[in-house]
Structure 1
Amino acid sequence: MGAIPDWLLRHQVLVEPFTGEGPYGPELGEQTLIRCFIDHKRRLVRNAEGAEVVSETTVIMPLDTVCPAGSRVIIGDRASTVITSARRDGGGLPVPDHLEVVLQ
């Protein structure tokens, strides 16, 4: 199947990818408009340090999107920080390849 079908990408977000720590805190890359699918659902997830935190939203993006933990995702007028992201690559199986991004 390969890439996630365009008809599933019903929403749009702005992504500012985390690029590292600077002298004044997190540094973010250029803001990019990404087509995606948004699932507003509260759930308990683990962050990069292994602590349990509450996620309010999961965003499904194309697999080639750059959006690591610490990135900023803007949905409408609300900015959220990425708790974690996971590549869902089917390796040639008939499933949609995508990036799953979990937001605070």
Structure 2
Amino acid sequence: MSRVPGWLLRHLITVEPYLGDSAYGPQYGPPAVAVPALVSAAVRQVRGADGREVVSSTTVIAAPGLDCPPGSRLTLPDGRTTTAITTSAHAAPGLPVPACVEVSCE
């Protein structure tokens, strides 16, 4: 299975994985700094983890293995901070399609 080519991942993002809620609000893991990704600012409708339809304003494509569960905090190349709505791992063993992780953000 091939991976998404590194030369396509032109942006660098920071990901703070969502760990859960506490008495003081959401808890995040240590930030993964300088994660290569492809960031696309396109508005589209997605279905969240709870089944509701929500609007996503940014889509991030990264190499397989990205730790970014829904609710994670991402810092985009322009400095904007956003929250992951859904995370999808794409793989097509045996097909000439690269494996990647797609994150839809608020």
TM range (shorter): over 0.9
Matches within 5 A, 1:1-104: 1-32=1-32, 33-75=34-76, 76-104=78-106
Q: CA deviation at 1:26?
A: 1.3
Query: How many Å separate the matches in 2 of 1:93 and 1:29?
Result: 35
Structure 2 counterpart of 1:29, which letter? Answer: G
TM-score by length of 2: 0.92
In 2, the alpha carbon distance for the partners of 1:5 and 1:24 equals 40
Cα offset, 1:46, TM superposition: 0.9
SS of residue in 1 equivalent to 2:59? strand
The amino acid that maps onto 2:4 is I
| TM-score, normalised with respect to structure 1 | 0.94
Q: How many residues align?
A: 104
- Letter aligned with residue 42 of structure 1: V
**Amino acid paired to 1:72:** R
**Unpaired runs of at least 5, structure 1:** none
Moved more, 18-27 or 43-52: 18-27
Partners of 1:11 and 1:36 within 8 A in 2: yes
**Structure with greater strand share of residues:** 1
Separation in 1, partners of 2:26, 2:6: 32
**Alpha-carbon RMSD:** 1.1
Q: Measure the CA separation in 2 of the matches of 1:41 and 1:85.
A: 16
Query: Which secondary structure does the structure 2 equivalent of 1:2 belong to?
Result: coil
Letter in 2 for 1:3: R
Contact 1:2/1:92 (CA < 8 Å) preserved in 2?
no
Q: How high is the sequence identity, in percent, across the aligned residues?
A: 42
Q: Distance in 2 between matches of 1:2 and 1:19?
A: 30
